[in-house]
Amino acid sequence: MPAGAIVYDPAYRDHETGDHIESKSRIEAIMERIREDVRARRVQILEPFRAALDQVGANHDVQYIASVRRLAEAGGGWLDLDTYCSPKSYEVSLLAVGGVICAVDAVMADVHNVMAIVRPPGHHAVWNKAMGFCIFNNVACAAKYAISSKEIERVLIVDWDVHHGNGTQASFYGDSRVLYMSTHQRPFYPGTGDFEEVGSGEGEGFTVNLPLPPGVNDDGFFYAYDRLFIPIAQQFDPELTFVSAGQDIHYADPIGGMLATSNAFRGLTERVKSVTPQGQVIACLEGGYDLQALADSTLTICGSLFDFPTQVDEGHVNSGISKHVSDRVERAIKVQSKYWEV
């Protein structure tokens, strides 16, 4: 199987947000770091396409989509208190969705794993409104595309962003074809993602939430994955896996309150790869707002996806598993044991 690929287009910078913390400097820092690494810069770059309206409409209300377009064409403005729409944001948002759909096409053909470096991010966007810097839900739209167009029956979505992906959870809350698994800080924005949010109807048991306290380090995240996420994912046996890759669990992030290092993201990616050994893993950029930490962490994700060595030298290392973490993992196991062998 051919080597992996990165989805990127300079047009993602055209979602102009001024001095907003979710700015074009994020992807500029990532791409600069990739170009600096002799192995990363050899990875194939896939050019994304703009998603068709029906591809976005599979996950979003058509009236909401039209309202984003009208606001952009009118010169832009605020979609909500956190999410800005510039004159080109509508087109760039279609390109972001299309970028992750492009990644689906690639891994379902002959490409081994993809890193989608897209913006604006997506996992907070719900059916009929923008939230938390997100306009359209890139991963949710792409997952629905995979199910409808690629005859995929089991999609895994792993979300390690520091914020709960409320939009993605809502998209599949009643759907047994999609297993959504999220570690996130709680209490924290957007306030969703409690233990007992497990899905409904046919989707009951196919949402796995692990709300964590602030201050979780590498060992804590690895413990959570090894004890809870990996056993459940192995039983689900995904045909395609998405990662909502928010690097705002890094200790340097100005928004989050976690203690993960850049090297933790390689370990997390390795764990996700272990449950999708066919190489059909798509990591999609979500949060992460310290530019150096974001760039280094994304590089370590790429190193895992594309099998080249990475090691970021960081002075900050906090080891050990706190009782606060192990207690929450055990509580999640108790909730999920109704549905899975954990």
Can you list the alpha helix ranges (DSSP code H) found in the chain? 25-36, 53-57, 62-73, 89-109, 138-149, 166-171, 218-224, 230-236, 264-274, 291-306, 323-336
Element (H, E) at 241: strand 240-245
Q: What is the pTM of this model?
A: 0.98
Report whether 239 contacts 154 (CB < 8 A): yes
Q: Hey, what's the torsion of the CAs at 270, 273, 279, 280, to 10 degrees?
A: -130
pLDDT in tens, 185-208: 999 999 999 999 999 999 999 999
**pLDDT on residue 314:** 81
163 a catalytic residue: no
Is the model's pLDDT at 319 over the cut of 90? no
Whole-number average pLDDT of the chain: 97
* Domains of the chain from N-terminus onward: 5-336 (3.40.800.20)
Residue of 124, 163, 184, 250 marked catalytic: 124
What type of residue sits at position 274? S
Please state the rounded mean pLDDT for residues 125-141.
98
- Distance, CA of 11 to CA of 210 (rounded, Å): 35
Has residue 17 got a pLDDT over 60? yes
Check whether 209 has a pLDDT greater than 90.
yes
pLDDT range class, residue 45, cuts 50, 70, 90 = very high
pLDDT at residue 311, as a whole number:
81
pLDDT one-digit tens code per residue, 62-98: 999 999 999 999 999 999 999 999 999 999 999 999 9
Kindly tell me if the per-residue pLDDT of 315 is higher than 90.
Answer: no
Q: Of 247, 157, 234, nearest to 199 (Cα)?
A: 157
Angle between helices 291-306 and 25-36 (to 10 degrees): 50
d(CA 211, CA 184): 5
Q: Could you give the percent of the chain with pLDDT greater than 70? A: 99
For residue 312, what pLDDT is reported?
86
pLDDT above 90 for 313: no
Query: 220 — alpha (psi -120 to 50), left (phi > 0) or beta?
Result: alpha
- Cβ atoms of 79 and 68 within 8 Å: the answer is yes
Cβ(308)–Cβ(115) below 8 Å: no
| Tens digit of each residue's pLDDT (9 = 90 or more) over 239-291 | 999 999 999 999 999 999 999 999 999 999 999 999 999 999 999 999 999 99
Amino acid at 46: L
ω into 190 cis (within 30 of 0): yes
Q: What whole-number distance in Å separates Cα of residue 197 and Cα of residue 265?
A: 26
Instruction: Look at residue 2 in the predicted model and tell me its pLDDT.
Output: 65
Q: H/E element holding 245?
A: strand 240-245
Please tell me the predicted confidence (pLDDT) of residue 256: 96
Q: Which amino acid is at 88?
A: K
Q: Name the residue type at position 224.
A: A
